[in-house]
Homo-oligomer: A and B are copies of this chain.
Amino acid sequence: MTGQDRVGQSAGVVYRDTVRAEWVDYNGHLRDAFYMLIYSYATDALLDAIGLDAAQRDARGRSMYTLEAHLNYLREIREGATVRVDVRVLGYDAKRVRVYLEMVADEGGEPVSASEQLLLHVDRSGPRAAPFDADVLARVAALAAADAHFEPRHAARAITLTPARRA
């Protein structure tokens, strides 16, 4: 699935899932932490796409760790909703990748959530930070180039009480 079917969507990595009963909280909607779990699975899909799937992680002795994540909760979603996450590479360096994940529900309308994350490439023998292998870096670079003109709505921002975000 490349998402090339709809204008403005990523040409890159897409992850799909369905909101499970055990992910719903006392408010009757997807608990905040399980948005993050869906994003976590979506970053696994990114790893698959850049040559770091489970077999490659073992073969190379490498993996990726999440250093930082920022989530914006925009709309409630309920049990049984199908969700689609577009994963975009906003930037990278020799060891890290900055990603943007946007979630829509039931293939419709405005995002229900967005997340910005910073991931670190690690040598599992430490574990310690390690430069990407050349082929992995090339795939990261290709994804970044494909979304070079994408402007994330919910990135590079700090949490603040002011100005009020909802009146």
Interface residues of A (CB under 8 A from B): 25-27, 31-34, 36-37, 39-40, 54, 57, 63, 65-73, 76, 91-93, 95-96, 98, 116-118, 120, 124, 127, 129, 155-161, 164-167
Contacts and interface: CB of A to CB of B under 8 A. Distances in A.
A142 B49 CA distance: 49
The 6 closest A-B pairs by CB, nearest first: A33-B37, A32-B66, A33-B36, A36-B36, A33-B40, A70-B70
Contacts of A116: 159
A161 B93 contact: yes
Nearest to A38: B33
Contact of A161 (B69, B73, B96, B167): B96
Specify which of A27, A33, A156 lies most central, judged by the most chain B CB atoms within 10 Å of its CB. A33
Contacts of A166: 67, 95, 120, 129
Given A27-B65, A76-B127, 12 more contacts: A33-B39, A33-B40, A67-B72, A67-B165, A67-B166, A68-B73, A68-B159, A70-B71, A71-B71, A95-B166, A96-B164, A98-B159
